[in-house]
Amino acid sequence: MAIINLKKREVECKIVYYGPGRCGKTTNLEYVFRNSRRLMTDEMVSIKTKGDLTIFFDFVPMDAGKIKGCDVRFQLYTVPGQVKYNSTRKLVLKGVDGVVFVADSLKIRHEKNILSLKNLAENLKGYGLNIMTLPLVMQWNKRDLAAEGLPLMTIEEMEHAYNRQLKAPSFQASAMTGQGINDTLKACLVQTLRSLRKQAGWE
């Protein structure tokens, strides 16, 4: 849940990028960090685990508006993707306000996407949160790999496999080229702000 800092007149919200290992979560945040430096208040922090990475930084969109006269500050996090780091993934989700689920478009990664999505639902449930009602945006990443002749799932297949029940906003993307990265983040910010205003009766 968002933290209201009356001293600083800020509302702090937490957005977590979730998905299987090597799906592009870190590359998403690195792209946002590189291309939105004027919106950052701190440097990006990396926490390395063996073979995986968690990163986070503060992000202050200028056009987010105010909530009850307070500026809105977002903290963007990634989680380690590998199953063996589930305790870290769950810890990063604590206090989450919105989630971007990054799915790997490669056909061979389908099962990993499914397992990660189920794991997200389970870890949210551990905090009393429901994946069906939490602000959630789906990203179909690595669409650029089609040009290299690699077998990708179609958008229709991904929507059916991962988003049929959730019915979350979804975006095609390439974290390497930046395609769809800003659109994904913007959709999550808008959903999260709308949810927070509704929860607090600020609408």
Q: Structure pTM?
A: 0.90
Write down the H helix ranges in the chain.
25-35, 86-93, 110-125, 155-162, 181-199
pLDDT for position 48: 55
pLDDT for position 51 = 53
Please provide residue 11's backbone torsions phi and psi, each rounded to the nearest 5 degrees: -110, 120
Q: How far apart are CA 67 and CA 9, in angstroms?
A: 9
pLDDT at 69: 77
Question: What are the per-10-residue average pLDDT scores of the chain (203 residues)?
Answer: 77 93 91 72 55 64 69 86 83 95 98 97 97 98 96 98 98 96 93 86 59
- Of the candidates 124, 102, 126, the one whose C-alpha atom is nearest the C-alpha of residue 27 is 102
* pLDDT value for 109: 98
pLDDT for the residue numbered 50: 53
pLDDT at position 57, please?
61
Q: Which CATH superfamily is domain 9-198 in?
A: P-loop containing nucleotide triphosphate hydrolases (3.40.50.300)
Domain ranges across the chain: 9-198
C-beta of residue 192 within 8 angstroms of C-beta of residue 15: yes
